[in-house]
């Protein structure tokens, strides 16, 4: 039997980090296209931009000449109406994958930011909290 030490059990996502080659271009994409809001940086580093979702989870954009991770890691972000989100992105000239449905009923599609970082847009998971 495995025991779990609650002191080190992960509870929620605090932030995701995306490496970008141009932080100002990335900021415009995240703010203007995805509607994520900038918040004050909590570190004294000029190459990092802090963003926050309404849930409180954060996205950090880290400017580096190496650009995105290869292969690109990704975060998944929930929307209320996936068809409307896809249509709005396509109307702005953003390429999206087709919407697919997972076994639990969750629907998803993917986009890329200007650096080629993969971003998943999804509905709420159909199976809820399991742990």
* Tens-place pLDDT, residues 51-104: 999 999 999 999 999 988 887 788 999 999 999 999 999 999 999 999 999 988
- Token digits of residue 54: 């309404």
Write the burial class of residue 74 (CB in 10 Å: 0-12 exposed, 13-18 middle, 19+ buried): middle
In a domain, 83, yes or no: yes
Residue 96 counted as domain residue: yes
Q: Are 95 and 118 spatial neighbours (Cβ–Cβ below 8 Å)?
A: no
* Number of domains observed in the structure of the chain: 1
pLDDT tens figures, 15-42:
999 999 999 999 999 999 999 999 999 9
Q: Does residue 40 lie within any of the structural domains?
A: yes
24 assigned to some structural domain: yes
7 within a domain of the structure (yes/no):
no
In a domain, 1, yes or no: no
Would you say residue 37 lies in a domain? Answer: yes
CATH number for the domain including 72?
3.10.180.10
Global confidence as pTM: 0.84
Residue 37 structural domain: 15-122
Whole-number pLDDT of residue 40: 95
Is 105 inside any structural domain? Answer: yes
């Amino acid at each position: 039997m495995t025991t779990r030490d609650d002191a080190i059990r992960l509870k929620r996502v605090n932030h995701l980090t995306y490496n970008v080659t141009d932080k100002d271009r990335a900021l415009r994409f995240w703010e203007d296209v995805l509607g994520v809001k900038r918040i004050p940086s909590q570190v004294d580093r000029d190459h990092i931009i802090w963003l926050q979702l309404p849930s409180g989870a954060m996205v950090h954009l880290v400017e580096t000449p190496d650009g995105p991770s290869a292969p690109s890691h990704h975060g998944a972000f929930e929307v209320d109406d996936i068809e409307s989100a896809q249509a709005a992105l396509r109307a702005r000239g953003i390429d999206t994958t087709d919407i697919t449905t997972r076994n639990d009923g969750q629907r998803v599609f993917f986009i890329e930011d200007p650096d080629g970082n993969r971003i998943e847009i999804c509905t709420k998971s159909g199976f809820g909290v399991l742990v």
